Structure 1
Amino acid sequence: MTTASYPPKPVPGDRVAVVSPSGGLPGLFPLPHELGLERLRKEFGLEPVEYPATRKMGSTPRERAADLHAAFADPDIKAVVASIGGDDQITVLPLLDRELIRANPKPFFGMSDNTNLLAFLRNSGIVGFHGASVMCELGRPGAMHPHTAESLRAALFTSGEYELRPAERWRDIDRDWADPATFDAEPETRPGTGWTWHNADQVVEGRSWGGCLEIVGWLLMADREIARDLSEYDGGVLLLETSEDMPSAREVYYTLRGMGERGLLQRFPALLMGRPKTWSFEHPGSPEEGARYAADQREAVLRAMREYAPDATIVFDVDFGHTDPQLVLPYGGVIRVDGPARRITVTY
């Protein structure tokens, strides 16, 4: 069984790599990227170092793999941060030198399509961190959300326990990154609704696995970075969330059903389900439509879990993934889900 270990932490003043393992969107939308780099310097005291493909739209998988190898191999680089996600990081995985990365463990921060690399790192024995990309979280208009900033700071610089808490306010609607006016003020938020618990009658503490549901589905289809021995996941905490592609409730159920038939869902006595993205530029629905979408997704998740893992503790609308604020979660690290106390604690 692979036991993932926490890599050494950076300290203020260190150099950190900024890479684009998926898409070179910093080249298309420089405003949030530059803002994110500035915050890394000024608010976190870290010196970002960009690599050749970071701002290159249309970079090849081999170019992106080379950037990752260079970042992990450089002893002066103390952490690696993704600029953003994308949709083809799965093509980079076969090109990665597992032994090089395993010999140079570093904290990696990313989410969405970076689920690929997080799963690769976990299988290589390295705890990663689900969240905090440069363009989305660090480059948030106006200011970083305080919950995101606090969580990221703890994940970057500390090694102890950190208790998650529901957001008092959150937002779902995006604004145009190409418009400079977008960055003049913080986005509008709405009151928080808290987390919703099911089967909250047990305490589960285990190592996490999962990520963006669509990417997990692709990994399963390609049979990549899934443990050969599924007992690897026994007693763990499953993390799942959906992207701005807004998969239908039917698609969510089908993916979970496939995981159940594979024997995966049954391994996890706890599931943390991120608050779903219910608005995008391609699907700009009303708040009421968004609420229906979220309710339909919740029922699809409950249906699958009732069929394959009926006793699992489930927490819905946890603030991670494609949402704002975004809590950073250790991927392959320890998470404690205390149902009776309604508390979630992560170990950074």
Structure 2
Amino acid sequence: MDVLTRPSKAKAGDRIAVLSPSLAVPAIGPAVHEQALERLQAITGLVPVEFPTTRRLGAGARERADDLNAAFSDPSIRAIIATAGGDDEMTVLPLLDAEPVLNDPKPVLGYSDNTNLHQWLWQHGVCSFHGGATQVHLGPGPEVDAIHSASLRAALLTGEALEVTEPGYSEDFGKDWADPRALHEYGVREQTEPWLWDGPSATVSGPGWGGCLEVLVLGLAAGRIHADATALDGCVLMLETSEILPGRELVAGMLRSLGERGVLEAVAAILLARPPASSPQTSPDARARAQYRQEQAQGALEVIRHYNTQAPVCIGVPFGHTRPQWILPHGGTLTIDAASRRIIASYA
């Protein structure tokens, strides 16, 4: 694959754009948003800057693209972070201008529907960071989780390498943003299971690539995302599923579609995130949640091994739609040491 450009890091006192490329969730929970901005500045020393659609529900694709283009073009903006995901960011991609990105690349953070933006940046040869959403991981609760704070600083400021570790607990979703308790209480947290490792005891290093599985598959179907298997040779595939809680069969089918494109065969290692197993609309008991995660993992592994028997696979890593969340490099280097069961992420 071609060498990707790694954006320069920001420094304390620089400005960071806080954007809503998909859904403007700050309009739903303004108090959580304000707390997120305060914590972002406290943790990083960066000065948050909002744009016209950051808090504007119902903004069209053109307006959201204008904000992204303005942030990419403004030399005083040294990084970009999304407030959350959504479901229609693919409509923004054709309206983005690549020239300012190529002239002055900046760290871009987000996950879920922001998979679209990461893939667009990849297609233009620029690294980014999968993870981070101010409304989900910075604003709610009594404090920012330690692993999120560490990877946030690494992605934006230091560029250091960090070992991706298991915090030992997880929540699928937090308090309703309109509920005052969201400012000082977490959601329901439960003990996590050990990660599932499968495959050879090999050490693999390669660029991270992937994102939210549902968004990837929809983007590929629409032609907004491209997955050239030859360009993904040696990459570390990282996939996570969303709060829509896709079942075993749907996850297997989506993975199979990647397999038929040659993606699963091309990659050197695969990371699957701990999936949420409940949502505000669906609240199964602990036993049912554990069964859901186990069945999704088993179904995913069966499909992966049909296409690739040599790649180390690790399932359960907290980098997706659960909290605490690791931010991981998209295009930057991930090292998977299956023998010692360690994952090292380079945020350079």
**Same fold, judged at TM 0.5 (above):** yes
Where does residue 210 of structure 2 map in the other structure?
A: 210
Indicate yes or no: 2:320 matched with 1:321: yes
What is the alpha-carbon distance in structure 2 between the residues aligned to residue 185 and residue 26 of structure 1? 18
Please name the residue that 2:13 is paired with.
Answer: 13
- 1:344 is aligned to 343
Q: CA deviation at 1:99?
A: 2.1
* 1:273 and 2:272 matched: yes
The Cα of 1:177 is off from its aligned counterpart by 1.1
The one-letter amino acid of 2:96's match is L
Q: Could you give the per-residue CA deviations for residues 304-348 of structure 1, whole angstroms, max 9, x where no partner exists?
A: 112111222110110101011100100011100011111101110
CA drift of 1:122 comes to: 1.2
Q: 2 CA distance for matches of 1:272 and 1:140?
A: 27
1:79-228 equivalences in 2 (<5 Å): 79-227=79-227
Runs of 4+ in 1 over 4 A off after TM superposition: none
The one-letter code matched in structure 2 to 1:339 is: A
Structure 2: distance between partners of 1:88 and 1:257: 24
CA contact 2:93–2:120 (8 Å) conserved in 1: yes
> 1:43 is paired with a residue of what secondary structure?
helix
Q: 1:242 — aligned with what?
A: 241
CA drift of 1:297 comes to 0.5
Aligned AA (1:83): T
What per-residue deviation string (whole Å, max 9, x for no partner) do you get for residues 120-148 of structure 1? 11111111011111101111311111111
Give the Å deviation of 1:193: 2.3
Shift of 1:168: 2.3
Whether the 8 Å contact between 1:174 and 1:280 is mirrored in structure 2 is: no
Give, in whole Å, the separation in 1 of the partners of 2:255 and 2:240: 12
RMSD over equivalenced CA pairs, Å: 1.3
Q: Does 1:4 align with 2:1?
A: no
Which residue identity does 2:211 align to in structure 1? Answer: G
Identify unmatched segments of 5+ residues in structure 1: none
Q: Any idea what the Cα deviations from partners look like across 1:52-91, whole Å, max 9, x if unmatched?
A: 0111111010101100010010000000010110000000
Aligned-pair CA distance for 1:23: 0.8
**Structure 1 residue 60 corresponds to structure 2 residue 60:** yes
Q: Summarize deviations over 1:188-238 as a string: whole Å, max 9, x none.
A: 4222323211014111111111100000111111122314x4211001100
Matched-pair contact (CA < 8 Å) for 2:229–2:261: no
The answer to whether the 8 A contact 1:142-1:187 is kept is no
What is the one-letter code of the residue matched to 2:107? P
Q: Check the 8 A contact 2:173/2:322 in 1, yes or no.
A: no
213-222 vs 105-114, which moves further = 213-222
Q: Distance in 1 between matches of 2:140 and 2:149?
A: 11
Aligned match of 1:41 = 41
Matched to 1:64, the amino acid is R
1:161 and 1:41 map into 2 onto residues whose CA distance is: 22
Contact 1:198/1:314 (8 A) holds in 2: yes
Quick one: which amino acid aligns to residue 141 of structure 1?
G
**TM-score, length basis structure 1:** 0.97
Contact 1:305/1:312 (<8 A) preserved: no
Question: 1:290 aligns to what?
Answer: 289
Alpha-carbon distance between aligned partners in 2 of 1:243 and 1:237, rounded to the nearest angstrom: 20
Letter in 2 for 1:276: P
Does residue 308 (structure 1) correspond to residue 307 (structure 2)? The answer is: yes
Number of matched pairs: 347
Q: Which stretch has the larger CA shift, 111-120 or 2-11?
A: 2-11
SS at match of 2:44: coil
**Contact kept in structure 2, 1:32 and 1:141, CA below 8 Å:** no
Deviation sequence 1:17-70 (CA, Å, 0-9, x none)? 011000111112212211110101223211100000111111010101100010
- The 8 Å contact of residues 2 and 123 in structure 1, kept in 2 or not, is answered as no
Identity over aligned residues, as a percent?
Answer: 42
In 2: Cα distance, 1:124 partner to 1:173 partner = 33
> Displacement, 1:260?
0.8
Q: Which amino acid aligns with 1:292?
A: Q
Query: 2:194 is matched by which residue type in structure 1?
Result: G
Amino acid at match of 1:260: G
CA contact (8 A) 2:151 2:326 kept: yes
Distance 2:115 2:184 in 1: 31
Q: Per the alignment, do residues 293 and 257 of structure 1 end up closer, same or farther by CA in structure 2, a change over 3 Å counting?
A: same
Contact preservation (8 Å) 2:5, 2:127: yes
Aligned-pair distance for 1:163? 1.2
Gap runs ≥5 in structure 2:
none
